[in-house]
Amino acid sequence: GDSVTQMEGPVTLSEEAFLTINCTYTATGYPSLFWYVQYPGEGLQLLLKATKADDKGSNKGFEATYRKETTSFHLEKGSVQVSDSAVYFCALSDSSSNTGKLIFGQGTTLQVKP
């Protein structure tokens, strides 16, 4: 079945550092790809998405490009802030069914220090 693999955390950075969180996927079809962010004690918020190969999703300085050839959707930000500290989840929409369910990676905790 479809699956998502993220780099393990926690990732600890200083403010204004460059961020990369790796995400690779396995899918039999053509899934849409997502990045969600979860702040402590809260639900998930959509950060960005891409629906087809070579699409670039971007939001709040974060961006990720749907790379079909490498089956990747790495999250990047040029200059992180303390307020970016959260757990980030890469996800794909299940391409093997019509239910629309999401399959999540294990999550990567980002800690940004001032």
Closest distance between other proteins and the C-beta of residue 42, in Å? 6
Question: What are the angstrom distances between the C-alpha of 55 and each of 6, 63, 90, 102, 109?
Answer: 19, 10, 15, 19, 25
Is position 26 an interface residue for other proteins (rule: CB under 8 A)? no
> Cα–Cα–Cα angle for 57, 49, 77, nearest 5°?
50
Is position 114 an interface residue for other proteins (rule: CB under 8 A)? no
Cα torsion for 54, 57, 63, 67, to the nearest 10°?
-20
Closest distance between other proteins and the C-beta of residue 4, in Å? 9
Which residue in 19, 21, 92, 105 binds other proteins (CB under 8 A)?
105
Choose among 2, 29, 1, 21: nearest CA to 80: 21
From residue 51 to residue 90, the character string flagging contacts with other proteins as x (rule: CB under 8 A) and all else as - is --------------------------------------x-
C-beta of residue 43 within 8 angstroms of C-beta of residue 60: no
Nearer to other proteins, 4 or 112 (CB): 4
Q: Which residues make up the interface to other proteins (CB under 8 A)?
A: 32, 34, 36, 41-46, 49, 89, 99-107, 109
